[in-house]
A and B are shown apart, each in its own frame.
Chain A
Amino acid sequence: DIQMTQSPSTLSASIGDRVTITCRASQSISSWLAWYQQKPGKAPKLLIYKASSLESGVPSRFSGSGSGTEFTLTISSLQSDDFATYYCQQYNSYVWTFGQGTKVDI
């Protein structure tokens, strides 16, 4: 299976901060990467697909970049609604795998 490693595991930030989360794949996944946001007690929500495509309805402060094995999710100006856990997920191979998650807190 393709292993996905996110860093950091926890990130403390303030409103207005620029936040970057990194996701590394154990082998090349081209651009077949998605980012999800999950709040406590809720289902995950799709933010970014195909590494850099913004899902409809998602604020433009979210952006994704990368290809191959290195990817980043950037929040340009952190808002109160953004405190959550973020997961990357590869869908290059038939067995999908998620990163372990990055919790963004105050």
Chain B
Amino acid sequence: EVQLVQSGAEVKKPGESLRISCEGSGYSFISYWINWVRQMPGKGLEWMVRIDPSNSNTDYSPSFQGHVTVSADKSITTAYLQWSSLETSDTAIYYCARAYSSSSAIDYWGQGTLVTVSS
């Protein structure tokens, strides 16, 4: 069974750093890109970034470039999304999701990680 299991909810203060994770199982982790999608409270879905775990190639949305960093460790089939300095506007649910390529639809999603940034 394909699973993407994300790390738990986080509460942080503005300016703090954070790394959230997404562990894939039940499939060949290096054969699928991992994407990160943001959903702000009560809002729609925004694609942020994708990473190819086989070689760590990345594509960033211009809207998120420079504010987040994506990485992956194929040895432990885990992808990460990190911030060096959080802002209150980063409060959202973050989903990891796999796709076979950048020309494929997302077929499996993680359960989401709620990040709350508040002073």
Contacts and interface: CB of A to CB of B under 8 A. Distances in A.
Contact of A46 (B46, B62, B107): B107
B118 interface: no
Could you say which interface size class chain A belongs to? 20 to 34
Q: Which of B45, B47, B59, B103 has the most CB of A within 10 A?
A: B45
A96 B47 contact: yes
A79 to B, nearest CB: 22
Contacts, number: 57
B109 A44 contact: yes
Contacts of A101: 44-45
A5 to B, nearest CB: 12
Cβ-closest 3 pairs across A and B: A34-B105, A49-B105, A43-B109
Interface of B: 35, 44-47, 59, 61-62, 95, 97, 99, 102-107, 109-112
